[in-house]
Structure 1
Amino acid sequence: MLLDAGVADEVCGSGQTIYNWAHAWRDSGVCGPIGGHNGGRPRALSEAMVATALHVARAESLTLARIAQRVRAAAMTRNASERERLLEQARRIGA
């Protein structure tokens, strides 16, 4: 376990994470650690938000705070558009 702690320090992870990677490697070879797992904390950003952040960051030089601000604005616009679409559908079916 001492080796796990040393590796954890190098990759800024926990000893448990290194243990899980090693276990996945033993069970499934190189694909084990790459495949990830289904547990843990949910993602903070959706795939669409990550894509938007990458697009914004590549388009111009901005601080992280400004990128986050633009991602939030884009998400709010998408949510408003989705809400309008759902309302229109409800009107069509007479709900």
Structure 2
Amino acid sequence: SDQAVYNWAHAWRIGGVCALMGGHNGGRPRALSDDVVAIALEIARAEPLTLVQIARRVEQAQAQALPCKIETLGEALKRAGFTFKRNRFSLKKSAMNGSSR
């Protein structure tokens, strides 16, 4: 786009080659701060919890609601190496066989 070309040319004029190699500093700010992610990681490491339980404990620790969707918290925890399983609510086969007779 025209804006991207302008930004590159402006960076070249201000800082030369080093300004072009500096990396990306633009874009949308993160929805979760590093502090909130650190709190969530501590809670997740303490005991096995679901994502909803982790989110509730983070909200309690901060005394305010999460500034994003719960999925965003899940993605931040996945980037840190945590995985989540969906719970299945199903009847056990042995319980069904005994009651049907």
Fold agreement, TM-score > 0.5: no
More helix by share: 1
TM-score, structure 1 as length reference = 0.40
Larger radius of gyration: 2
